[in-house]
C-alpha cells in the first residue's frame, strides 16, 4: 500500500483523545475524556486531537503541523491516540513540506 497525502490526512482525522494546554506546567497534555483535565487546563483550550494537529495556514487552508504531531508522539501513547503508519511516515519524511489542505473542522 502506498501512502499518499490523502491517507495521511485521513489518519490525522482518526486521531483519538483530547489535547489541552496546562497553564501550570506550560505544556500540552492528552486525555481521553474532556472531564479528566483538572483545574490547570482551561476549558477553551481543550481540543479534539484530530483538530489539534491542524493549524490555520492561509484563508481556508490548514497545515498538518509536524510540531504538534511531535508533541503527541512524545507522550508515548501511540496506540491509544491511534497514531498509524501514514502519520509515522509523514513525520519521518522531513524532506517534503507540511501538507496543506482545504478542510472544515470535524465535529467530535
Per-residue pLDDT tens over the stretch 5-22: 999 999 999 999 999 999
**pTM higher than the cut 0.95:** no
User: Distance (Å, rounded) from C-alpha 108 to C-alpha 82?
Assistant: 15
Domain coverage including residue 11: 5-16+47-102
pLDDT digits (tens, 9 = 90+) for 72-104: 999 999 899 999 999 999 999 999 899 999 876
Domain count, the chain: 1
Answer whether residue 33 is part of any domain.
no
Answer whether residue 35 is part of any domain: no
Helix H or strand E segment including 12: helix 5-13
HSE, CB side, 13 Å, CA atoms: give it for residue 29: 17
Residue 94's SS3 state is: coil
The whole-angstrom distance between residue 42's C-alpha and the CA centroid of its chain comes to 18
List of residues 6+ apart from 101 with CB closer than 8 A: 5, 9, 61, 62, 64
Q: Indicate whether 32 belongs to any domain.
A: no
In a domain, 70, yes or no: yes
Amino acid at each position: 500500500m502506498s501512502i499518499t497525502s490523502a491517507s495521511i490526512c485521513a489518519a490525522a482525522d482518526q486521531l483519538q483523545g483530547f489535547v489541552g494546554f496546562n497553564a501550570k506546567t506550560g505544556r500540552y497534555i492528552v486525555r481521553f475524556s474532556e472531564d479528566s483535565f483538572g483545574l490547570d487546563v482551561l476549558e477553551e483550550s481543550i481540543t479534539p486531537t484530530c483538530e489539534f494537529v491542524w493549524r490555520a495556514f492561509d484563508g481556508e487552508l490548514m497545515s498538518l503541523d509536524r510540531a504538534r504531531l511531535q508533541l503527541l508522539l512524545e507522550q508515548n501513547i501511540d496506540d491509544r491516540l491511534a497514531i498509524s503508519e501514514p502519520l509515522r511516515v509523514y513525520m519521518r519524511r522531513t524532506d517534503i513540506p507540511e501538507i496543506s489542505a482545504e478542510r472544515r473542522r470535524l465535529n467530535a
